[in-house]
Amino acid sequence: MQEVVERIACFLVDEPENVSVSTIESHQQTILQLRVAKSDIGKIVGKHGRLANAIRTILAAAGKTSGRRFRLEIIE
C-alpha cells in the first residue's frame, strides 16, 4: 500500500521528488505517513479535504480485502 499511496501522491504534486511514504505497523493497523513539499500540501488535501478522503477510501477498500486497517497521515 505504501507504493500505491506514493504513486498517487506523485501524480498530484508539483515536486514528486519530495514525496515519501513511511509505514508504522501495529497490531491491527498500518499507519502510512505521507510527506510532501510544503507547497504541495494543498494539492494532496484538496478542496475541503476531498482528495485526502479519496485516498483514505482507497486504503479502506484495500484493507477490507486484506483484513487490515490502513490509516493515512499527511505530515508537513
Q: Is the distance from CB of 72 to CB of 5 less than 8 angstroms?
A: yes
Condensed to tens digits (0 to 9), the pLDDT of residues 23-58 reads 999 888 999 999 999 999 999 999 999 999 999 999
Phi-psi region of 48 (alpha: psi -120 to 50; beta: other; left: phi over 0): left
Residue 14's domain is classified under what CATH number?
A: 3.30.300.20
**Residue 11 predicted with pLDDT over 90:** yes
Share of the chain above pLDDT 70, in %: 100
pTM: 0.88
Q: How many domains is the chain partitioned into structurally? A: 1
pLDDT score, position 41: 95
pLDDT score, position 67: 87
**Structural domain containing residue 47:** 2-75
